[in-house]
Amino acid sequence: MHGSFGDSCRRVLAAPYRVCYIAQDFDASVITGAKQVARLPALTLGWQVRAKDIGRVDVSETAGISTGIAARYATAVFDLAKDGKTIKALESDVGALESAMNQSADLRTLLTSPLYSREEQGAAISAVAKEMKLSATTSNTLALLASKRRLFVLPHLVRVLQDRLAEERGEVTADVTTAKALTKAQTEALAKTLKAQVGKSIIIKETVDESIIGGLIVKVGSKMIDTSIASKLNALQNTMKEVG
């Protein structure tokens, strides 16, 4: 399905959506229904939406703010999945969303472009969720994000959920940046070395960045090890400046 996601997303975004929302639709209970609304005040805290508010989102908000917003949603979604014994479905949804965002420029545009109205974003993301066969909780969360003009936090939300799911499995995600892709043997050796250091199974999340020239940049939680050649060259350059 993922191979054709770009075409599917384009069809969804090309549709003439004109769905209207009323103030009650912005209630956080849309994620799970009224019976569990008491769990979700953190989702709406600080984002009171007026019925006539159809303004555009300011996509210049910092990554820190986006991560903070995403963390609140992630906590609610993860707790609901755990209580409802639907962790496996959430894992599948998170994996599908990450793949879709990586593959589809149209979906990334939908998440961030101020050219889409609140109604258009809501209708489009709901159609995308249906096309991807996401669970009800995930689909409702996407709809809520759209109604709040917060779809731009979705990449952060996915990442936070990935960390929570890994923690639930007793694993830790290591962000690894390399100048060229690691071989399977190198990845396994690195995971084994990191496991010996942190005492937990390691999931390697690799990013290739040729600008680091060589070496590795490894981040596990709040700890980072930078052995990249670019970093060493910068350090040498700074040292030479001090000498000069």
Count the Cβ atoms, other than its own, within 10 Å of residue 230: 17
Domain boundary among 105, 138, 165: 165
User: What pairing do the DSSP bridges indicate for beta strands 223-226 and 201-208?
Assistant: unpaired
Domain boundary among 165, 187, 213: 165
pLDDT digits (tens, 9 = 90+) for 163-215: 899 889 989 889 999 999 999 999 999 999 999 988 889 989 899 999 999 99
Percent pLDDT > 90 in the chain is 54
- The reported pLDDT for the residue numbered 199 is 87
- The reported pLDDT for the residue numbered 25 is 35
pTM: 0.61
105 and 220 in a single domain? The answer is no
What are residue 176's DSSP bridge partners? 206, 218
Name 102's Cβ contacts closer than 8 Å, sequence gap at least 6. none
Average pLDDT, the chain: 78
- The reported pLDDT for the residue numbered 240 is 79
pLDDT digits (tens, 9 = 90+) for 22-46: 333 334 444 544 333 333 333 332 3
User: What pairing do the DSSP bridges indicate for beta strands 223-226 and 216-220?
Assistant: antiparallel
CA–CA separation, 153 and 125 (whole Å): 14
- The reported pLDDT for the residue numbered 9 is 52
Domain boundary among 165, 182, 215: 165
Sheet of 201-208: strands edge to edge? 201-208, 171-178, 216-220, 223-226
Q: How confident is the model at residue 242 (pLDDT cuts 50, 70, 90)?
A: confident
Tokens of 33: 């229904």
- The reported pLDDT for the residue numbered 10 is 52
What mean pLDDT do residues 47-63 have?
Answer: 40
Name 164's Cβ contacts closer than 8 Å, sequence gap at least 6. 74, 78
Name 36's Cβ contacts closer than 8 Å, sequence gap at least 6. 29, 80
Number of structural domains the chain divides into: 2
Q: Domain range spanning residue 75? A: 2-165
DSSP letter assigned to residue 181:
P
Tokens of 135: 């669970």
